[in-house]
Structure 1
Amino acid sequence: MLTLTVACAPYDRVRPLFDGRVALPGIRLVPVPIHSEQSFPRAFTRAEFDVTELSLSSQLIQVSRGQGEYVAIPAFVSRAFRHGCIYLRADAGITDAKGLEGRRIGIPEYQMTLGLWLRGILADDHGVDVNGIAWRTAGTNQAGRRERLPLELPPGMDVRPLPDGATLNQALLDGEIDAILSPTEPLAFAAGDPRVTRLFPDPRAAAMAYHRRTGFHPIMHVMGLRRDIAEKHPGLAGRLYQAFEEARRLGLAEMEADLRHSSLSLMLPFLAEEWAATKALLGADPWTYGLHANRAELEAIARWSHAQHLSRRLLGVEEMFHPETAGS
């Protein structure tokens, strides 16, 4: 029997695979329920897991370079609207997205998928020259973060780390940077410090408007299978994709069933109303996997990755993923 370690956050859409409700005959899965802050460095530096959650942006970089220990399967286990992740220094004089142009902006890693998405949105929707911004990298609230892969940027692009010991939160307060792009709230913002504000005061409204214009529900992470294992076991990548798809469908059905009970299993009193609003915006199946349903979004991601000098070349959608998932 083939044994595979599977490193992924314990999402509702993955849980049926972790708890055995979804099984692959002849394969023993060993769940490693960790979040991406732990799995990404271990996957990209030493390919520690057989199957793992991957940063989509970092994976595209490696595919474009002909590198990488993993081949992706289009199970998009993490998606997130990121309009609420742009923080400003209140006295920086930035009143709209175009005002970010030419500024010094902090981000944990230039290559991270959040940055890829937000730069794409700023460029496409607001006409911002994102390659002309001075990008400064560091941990948002904890020092020591570094790019997980080396960058290959052209001369003239200004992307560099802040000094050792620096954080984006403190750099913003000290006036060393004008804004932050981060999935984690800067501590000052979380504490209600009036010196830090959001670019989009109503990020939910901004995200909903963006989805209505584009149809995109931003893909952040994919699942990856170690390339050597995929080559040794033909058919495995396709079977894994189907297993993740089945787990996603079960998770969706479980959500719907839970809302039909007279009492809620989660401490969210307006969960039913939020779920109804989500489906009204995103459709009855709001978290799709596969290439067919996500092709336009994946093409935009590939275009941004190349335009932002992350990918060496413009990638086609099919070459981003294992060939066994081409029909998904």
Structure 2
Amino acid sequence: MSQTKPLTVLLGDYPHTRLLKDGTLSVEGVDCRFVDSSPLYPAFARMVRDLEFDVCELALATYLQAREAGVPITLLPVVLIGGTHHRSLTRLPDGPALAPGELAGRRIGVRSYSQTTGLWVRGILREEYGIEARDVTWVTTEEPHVRQYREPSYVTRSPAGRVADLLRDGDVEAAVLGPRAVAGQGEGLVPIVPDAEAAGRAWTERHGFVPANHVVVVRDDVLRAAPDAVRALYHALAEAIGATAEDRDGSPASRAVAAGWSEEFGACLDLASRYALEQELVRSPLDIDAIEKEAAFVR
């Protein structure tokens, strides 16, 4: 084991990470110092801007942008959370009826233009309803995680604190909310996509995978200095994901959780990177084959 110092690891609180964080499963030969962030997503900026953690959970869109920006991190082939996102595009229940195909020229609220849920929702709008990202004004409440990224001209910032407040205050006509926000600040809002659950299932059947939201990355200098320790952490996380598989409910969100490079994982990264390019989240194509080769060290 080549590790010479503890690994600082930031992972969200899920059944499959809890087994490691509470010591139920050990990371053989590695002193892991698990740290927390509540809420989780502000820590993503701290990772891609300041490399604050050795190993860190990271939003998929943030990873794609960080890679283009040259941030020295390597992707581990792990999906910690994911799911379908037809339900994430919402409106007020007592507002005027609004179909997805009618969103061109409208204002849509989203926490950040680079939020991964927004990436998938915009992909759905283009693919299924012919609405391009530039056809909409995207009203955001937060800046991107990656400092080097510059938003397109059709993105604007609001001083509002929460995306749902933009909708309730009449500043936007629709809002994109992540899964937890739908059940929190978005309580009472309704999906714009008809029969959103069925639409999500049809999407996964058509593409052959469930969209990933959060992955795991490691700092390049840590990987060079302690590859065995990083590999041991990866394998322990894969073991934890396997150990909790029977407890998951078979929903798209539960099926998204996985470890290991697979055809589905590669297809997910490929489509996400294409969506990102179409939406100007990145300005140049990303080499998925190179990402796969870099991740091969965990095998």
TM value normalised by structure 2: 0.85
**CA 1:69 to 1:327, structure 2 compared with 1: closer, same or farther past 3 Å?**
closer
CA distance in 2, matches of 1:326, 1:229: 13
CA distance in 1, matches of 2:279, 2:41: 23
> Residues 195-243 of structure 1, C-alpha deviation per residue, up to 9 Å, x if partnerless?
x532035432222222222222110011111221112224444443322
Aligned counterpart for 1:46 among listed residues 7, 27, 50:
50
CA distance in 2, matches of 1:113, 1:249: 25
Aligned counterpart for 2:282 among listed residues 304, 307, 311:
311
Q: How many Å apart are 1:56 and its aligned residue?
A: 1.0
Q: How many Å apart are 1:51 and its aligned residue?
A: 1.1
CA distance in 2, matches of 1:298, 1:119: 16
1:290 matched to 2:260: yes
Q: 1:158 maps to what in 2?
A: 154
Q: How many Å apart are 1:247 and its aligned residue?
A: 1.6
- Is the Cα contact below 8 Å between 2:67 and 2:73 reproduced in 1? no
Q: How many Å apart are 1:298 and its aligned residue?
A: 1.4
Q: 2:205 maps to what in 1?
A: 212
Residue 247 of structure 1 aligns to a residue in which SS? helix
**CA 1:175 to 1:15, structure 2 compared with 1: closer, same or farther past 3 Å?**
closer
Residue 2 of structure 1 aligns to a residue in which SS? coil
1:132 matched to 2:146: no
Deviates more, 1:175-184 or 1:26-35: 26-35
1:13 matched to 2:6: no
Q: How many Å apart are 1:188 and its aligned residue?
A: 7.5
CA distance in 1, matches of 2:5, 2:61: 30
Q: 1:229 maps to what in 2?
A: 222
- Is the Cα contact below 8 Å between 2:30 and 2:229 reproduced in 1? no
Q: How many Å apart are 1:168 and its aligned residue?
A: 3.1
Q: 1:173 maps to what in 2?
A: 168
Bigger radius of gyration among the two: 1
1:111 matched to 2:114: yes
Q: How many Å apart are 1:98 and its aligned residue?
A: 1.1
Q: How many Å apart are 1:167 and its aligned residue?
A: 4.0
CA distance in 1, matches of 2:74, 2:261: 15
CA distance in 2, matches of 1:24, 1:89: 47
**CA 1:2 to 1:180, structure 2 compared with 1: closer, same or farther past 3 Å?**
same
Identity across matched positions, percent: 26
Q: How many Å apart are 1:252 and its aligned residue?
A: 1.6
- Is the Cα contact below 8 Å between 1:65 and 1:312 reproduced in 2? no
CA distance in 1, matches of 2:106, 2:9: 41
Q: Which residue identity is paired with 2:67?
A: V
Q: Which residue identity is paired with 1:287?
A: V
Q: How many Å apart are 1:58 and its aligned residue?
A: 0.8
Q: Which residue identity is paired with 2:198?
A: A
**CA 1:180 to 1:170, structure 2 compared with 1: closer, same or farther past 3 Å?**
same
CA distance in 2, matches of 1:295, 1:147: 25
* Gapped regions of structure 2 (runs ≥ 5): none
Deviates more, 1:300-309 or 1:238-247: 238-247
* Gapped regions of structure 1 (runs ≥ 5): 139-144, 257-274
CA distance in 1, matches of 2:183, 2:80: 25
